[in-house]
A and B are shown apart, each in its own frame.
Chain A
Amino acid sequence: MSKTDITKAEGDLYLENLTKSFGDFTAVDDLSLQVPQGSFFALLGPSGCGKTTTLRMVAGLEAPTAGRIRIGDADITYEKPYRRPVNTVFQNYALFPHMDIQENVGFGLKRRGIKDVDAQVADALKLIQLEQVAKRKPTQLSGGQQQRVALARAIVNRPAVLLLDEPLGALDLKLRRQMQLELKRIQTEVGLTFIHVTHDQEEAMTMADTVAVMNNGIIEQMGPPTELYESPRTAFVANFLGQSNLFPAKVSGVDGDNVVLEDSDGRFLMPKNRVADGVNLSSGSSVLVGVRPEKINIGPLDPGQEPPSHGNYVDGVVEAASFLGVSTQYEVRTAGGDAISVFAQNLDVHGLMPVASQVRLTWLPLHGFVLDGHEDINAGVESELVVG
């Protein structure tokens, strides 16, 4: 590698086989990813999955047990934190209580001996719309204001990579939504690489260009939000991002571009490109069939009704129905015993399908997805996470 000045390194951020163990517990396990320069990248995962540890290694506050970290060509794996072109917005903000806002924001610039600190600090405060509090102490600010100051204090340094550790976690819901837009605006405006850590899937999906879903120290899947949502590759992703109906089935064969699957409720077709990588499609192997609740059509079951020509279907009984205004949420028990959730948009005025009524659920083959049969159906379900 050439003798580049690491403090001025720029480019994509690479984590290569990054591992961090505390004793015999592995918090981050052989994690590899690439974050394109200038992108808004979200690291999404439940509490305790190793997000903070990953960020701390990038910031240099924790030394990796194995693996490498690069920015462009520069290897920063063991670089001192104060030499890295990386800044962090800490989970608890970590504003210096004995300095006023202006001093807090100017701290990094002063340490690097930059000349027009005042002007840059003023610009940064303008960016977060807090010029008026420049002379106040952090404790005199509200949570949302402190959050923005922490952001300004990091951004003003124009780091190659900006790390945000659950930056909105301490804010109430309304403020959080507002700050999400604000953060996105600021990121677009300054064009820095943002790595945003969160356990809020909605936050990750609304803000990020790319989302990496993390669980137990590994990355389960990475991609644009729509891709993660439409084509989850693991049960964890399917359940953690939004909601999914998953039920076990067996491969019974291949029919052209479609895979034919079978379970206690009948046969389903699934386009091959809707099958997650690495799933065994030989006859008789077990898989999980997934369908998002809003992709399912629900209708009353008439006696002698023909099966739909281009769709999969199952018949069942409505067990619960809750009318939510824009949609109605049904819980349906199929003849084969699976429980399936359905979100039906409120398109017509026929009203609800009553509880205990017979219904037919249909969906287009391309609306489903197929996962490996060894996956835990309940991985990433919210109620589970609270307990576990």
Chain B
Amino acid sequence: MSIAAAIGDTLEEQPHKNKPQKQGRFTPYWLLLPGLLWLTIFFIVPLVTLFGTSLMTPVPGGDVGEFEQTFHFANYVDTLTDSTYYIPLFRSFIYSGIATLLALAIGYPLAYAIAFKGGRYRNILLVLVIAPFFVSFILRTVAWRQILADEGPVVAILRYLSLVEPTGGVYPSAFAVIMGLTYNFLPFMTLPIYASLERVDHRLIEASGDLYAKPFTGFRKVTWPLSLPGVVAGTLLTFIPAAGDYVNAALLGRPSNTMIGNRIEYTFLSVNDYPTAAVLSFILMATILVLVLFYIRRMGTEELV
């Protein structure tokens, strides 16, 4: 899972390299073939096609949705300087960033409780974590409309606490979208963290107590750093899909809460402006890639085992 584990694996494999391998020297490459084919067909080809589309221009005098292959890189500049695109893009990262932090704040204690206090109920609790997946994504999100509706329990409590005006509500709103994102991606946060925590050697925690660390210090100095691979995996698994998500904004937000996913969907399906939709997809992908690399580098060099 972690970078370190991957490095460890390669290190361990090194001695094998020197073993004489008379027969089947090419076997490893044959074994790679299905994977490579899979990658080519389902990842490289669509990516190249998409990139091609992003450089297209409308056929002169053609219909709506008719484009020809050109190498019009200005598509990128045009899109990036259009506030109807870059604002939702920016908003996407803000929303998904907040949702990721919230999911971490909920998912970490949850995973911790299951791993350390779950006892023999651990497996049942884990099933409960993924239980929402048995219901369709859309349905679950629609359910949040009910929960957050003006007549619903959340608003009742918030009104009672005077956190919203007596006639106010929380749906549709940015708050509702972020709640939806947090909820929908929570299992992706919880499970990797659980996997990491479960492997933390309890004797190390005891050792920290033996060495004068109070329980919270022990957590901060030992448990937390050792669970970081899970935290990194969980945040990525939450942040990446949340940034590109359009269901939550569509079902729980106002037009002013539009995320980049909604813009892509709209541009592609309603406006039939395929090049711009492709450009947006690429920009989203590239931005996520840069952010993720940045994040992994930082976490990787500083704390990871």
Chain A residues proximal to chain B, CB less than 8 Å: 59-61, 80-82, 86-88, 90, 92, 94, 96-98, 107-108, 111-112, 153-154, 157
Contact = CB atoms under 8 A, between A and B. Distances in A.
Nearest to B218: A82
Contacts of A154: 211
Interface in B191-224: 201, 203-204, 206-214, 217, 221-222
Given A81-B209, A88-B210, A107-B208, 5 more contacts: A59-B210, A61-B210, A94-B204, A98-B303, A98-B304
B225 interface: yes
Contacts of B207: 88, 90, 94, 96
Contacts of B201: 94
Nearest to B214: A82
B212 A94 contact: no
Contact of B212 (A61, A90, A96, A157): A157
B226 interface: yes
18 contacts: A81-B209, A82-B211, A82-B212, A82-B213, A87-B211, A88-B210, A92-B203, A94-B207, A96-B208, A96-B221, A98-B225, A98-B303, A107-B213, A108-B211, A111-B211, A111-B213, A111-B217, A157-B212
The 5 closest A-B pairs by CB, nearest first: A108-B211, A111-B212, A94-B207, A81-B209, A94-B203
Interface in B61-87: none
A100 to B, nearest CB: 12
A110 to B, nearest CB: 9
Contacts of B221: 96, 107
B285 interface: no
Contacts of B226: 97-98
Interface of B: 201, 203-204, 206-214, 217, 221-222, 225-226, 303-305
Contacts of B217: 111
A9 B210 CA distance: 16
Contacts of A86: 210
Nearest to B224: A98
A81 B305 contact: no
B225 A87 contact: no
A233 to B, nearest CB: 34
Nearest to B305: A98
Nearest to B225: A98
Contacts of B204: 94, 96-97
Contacts of B212: 82, 108, 111-112, 157
Contacts of B214: 82, 111
Contacts of B213: 82, 107, 111
A126 B221 CA distance: 25
A185 B304 CA distance: 37
Nearest to A87: B210
A107 B221 CA distance: 9
Nearest to B203: A94
B211 A153 contact: yes
A107 B211 contact: yes
B23 to A, nearest CB: 35
Nearest to B209: A81
A111 B222 CA distance: 13
A361 to B, nearest CB: 51
Contacts of B209: 60-61, 80-82
A81 B213 CA distance: 9
A81 B215 CA distance: 10
Nearest to A112: B212
Contacts of A96: 204, 207-208, 221-222
Contacts of B211: 82, 87, 107-108, 111, 153-154, 157
A82 B213 CA distance: 6
B203 A90 contact: yes
B95 to A, nearest CB: 33
Between B207, B217, B305, the greatest number of chain A beta carbons within 10 A of the residue's beta carbon is seen for B207
A140 to B, nearest CB: 11
Contacts of B203: 90, 92, 94
A80 B221 CA distance: 18
Nearest to B213: A111
A290 to B, nearest CB: 41
A96 B305 CA distance: 10
B232 to A, nearest CB: 14
A135 to B, nearest CB: 16
